[in-house]
Structure 1
């Protein structure tokens, strides 16, 4: 039997701060190869990624798991009770960077997959996609794996992303979708002048703040059946002007929108661009914007796959998980273009914190849930 908690500690001891591999994928590759998986490194632009498949390519049923071994920087080492890459184990708790997010999740599905195919070889295939670029830009991580899979004719029929999904206790929540996210950088260019002679200038701040006020005057929507209302936040306004008697020539702002399935990144971009065009015409101040769409809203509708996972989680934990679309973004936003995807993992209390840690009992429970999902999926 593969000990997922012990594997978690070993992975924590690999200092895999994005984009450094740190030995984590090498460790997993060796384990999976020994268990009969076909293993392939799929690095792109020096970003490390791992693909592993047990069973034949193109099998009638293929179950997938996705996760990441890269972690955020530990910060001030002196603030940690135990060194962040020690994998310290004490009183049934494993300490270290990545203990929650998400080396424990990877260890759980790797251990579950190895034991499942060893003890009860299925009529089908199990695919694991593990990236070293989830905490970074994400351009050459899971995206690279999926691009490579498409080129090679590799497929997953369904996939679980093992990110922490439970707010407080195991079994209370699983993610069946995520909001989209788009960041807009707005630039306003007017005419500089003396504050006492505003008729000789065009104040970019007046046009910019009018634009922003219109955006926050009314909600973008009221939400949908599975999503809360979309949210818009102004995160920066600046003009770099140190003088109180000078109307500046330029001003900038940044806003972030977390949007539901009533919108797309493109539709929001078009809406804001039209608003900016009208204000530019009326004020003579040129408003331009650049959009950075980091993910679209998506939903895996309740059905056989969602029901299977929800029923097993309920039976194993005694709690019926809420089907949620809350939170930020994850690599599920890429997987959803490949196959139906949901997220279920550990409790996320300590992710990205100093003294990140996880109870070993949670890891064992998560492995058991994953292994049972595999068993019942192939039955």
Structure 2
């Protein structure tokens, strides 16, 4: 059997800060090929990705998705143990960047998959998709793998993304969807002038702050059965004006919206543009909106797949996980266009922090959960 905790430590020792592969995918490719998986590197634009399949193409297929790239560790001197040491201490805790997000999750599903096909070869197939571009722009990672799969006729019927999903304890939460995320950059252009003679100027800040105030006054919605209300946050206002007696010519602001499945990115962009057109007509200040949609809201509705994963987690942890759509974005936002997807992984409260670490037993428990999910799926 493969020990997922040991594999986690070995992966941590690969310094795979986005976009560097760092040896992590080479390590996994060697393990998977030795276990009889057909493995392909699906690199695109300098980003390293891995696709592995055991079993016949076109058979009933269970998929896993995860990433081996990590965020920078910051000052190594701030760490109790070096960030790429994979140190296992006397209390059975593994230290290092990626210990929770998410080399442990990848190690758990790789180990579970290899042990499963060796012990009880299923009547079906397993596909593992592992990217090196989740913490970065995410343009050439899971998207590239899914594009390649479409070209090759590869297909998953369902998929688990192994991102950390539990707030504090194993079994607390699994993700069955995610909110969408959109960033809007608003530019306002008026007429510069002296602050003592405002009638000779057109203040862009007045129009912009009015626009932003109205955006934040009216709720976007009141939530749904599986989603909290959508949230709009102003994250920046700037005009670059060092003089207190000058009305600036231009100003800008940034707004981020995390939205539920009552909205789409395009619909929100249209809503903000219509609002800007009204303010522009009333003030004479030109407002421009640039939208960046990083992900749409989605939901994998409760049903046989969700129920199966939830039942296994409950049996293995003695906790029934909450079905949640909270948090930021993950690569599940791409997988959902391919097949039904849920997220279940480790406790994530230490991810991206100095002294990121994980109990080895927790990684082994996750390996056991994934193994049991595969048994249930192929029963």
Tell me the residue number matched to 2:81: 82
Shift of 1:281: 1.1
The SS at the match of 1:155 is coil
2:220 paired residue number: 220
Segments of 4+ in structure 1 off by > 2 A?
none
Matches within 5 A, 1:264-279: 264-279=264-279
Q: Which residue of 2 aligns with 1:69?
A: 68
Q: Distance in 1 between matches of 2:13 and 2:321?
A: 32
The aligned residue for residue 301 of structure 1 is 301
Find the counterpart in structure 1 of residue 336 from structure 2. 336
Asked if residue 351 in structure 1 is aligned to residue 351 in structure 2, the reply is yes
Report matched runs for 1:17-32 at 5 Å: 17-32=17-32
Say which SS state the counterpart of residue 165 (structure 1) adopts.
coil
Q: 1:320: how far off?
A: 0.4
Compute the displacement of 1:250 (Å).
0.5
Tell me how far apart the structure 2 counterparts of residues 78 and 289 of structure 1 sit (CA, whole Å). Answer: 43
How far apart in 1 are the matches of 2:166 and 2:219? 28
| Residue in 2 that maps onto 1:231 | 231
State the Cα deviation string for residues 233-292 of structure 1 (Å, max 9, x = none): 000000000111100000000010000011000000000000001111111110001000
> Is the partner of 1:232 in helix, strand or coil?
strand
Q: Output the CA distance in 1 between the equivalents of 2:147 and 2:283.
A: 46
The 2-side partners of 1:289 and 1:78 are apart by 43
CA distance in 2, matches of 1:47, 1:286: 40
**How many pairs were matched up?**
378
Cα distance in structure 1, aligned partners of 2:286 and 2:45:
37
Cα drift, residue 298 of structure 1: 0.2
CA distances 1:318-371 after superposition (whole Å, capped 9, x unpaired)? 000000000000000000000000000000121000000000000110000000
Which blocks of at least 5 consecutive residues in structure 1 are unaligned? none
**1:184 and 2:184 are equivalent in the alignment:** yes
**Distance of 2:359 and 2:76 partners within structure 1:** 22
Q: Residue 25 of structure 1: SS of its match in structure 2?
A: helix
Instruction: Please say if 1:162 is aligned against 2:162.
Output: yes
* Alpha-carbon distance between aligned partners in 2 of 1:343 and 1:196, rounded to the nearest angstrom: 58
Cα deviation per residue 1:19-46 (whole Å; 9 max; x = unaligned)? Answer: 0000000000000000000000000000
TM-score, with length taken from structure 1: 0.99
Distance between the aligned counterparts of 1:338 and 1:330, measured in 2?
Answer: 15
CA distance in 2: counterparts of 1:280 and 1:40, whole angstroms: 53
Aligned-partner Cα distance in 2 for 1:102–1:330: 12
Gaps of 5+ in 2: none
Q: TM-score, normalised by structure 2?
A: 0.99
- Match of residue 318 from structure 1: 318
Q: Per-residue displacement from partner, 1:291-311 (whole Å, max 9, x unpaired)?
A: 000000000000000000000
Cα distance per residue 1:102-157 (max 9 Å; x no partner): 00000000000000001100011000000000000100000000011011100000
Equivalent in the alignment of 2:45 = 45
1:218 Cα offset (Å): 1.7
**2:262 aligned partner:** 262
SS at match of 1:82: coil
Shift of the alpha carbon at 1:169?
Answer: 0.4
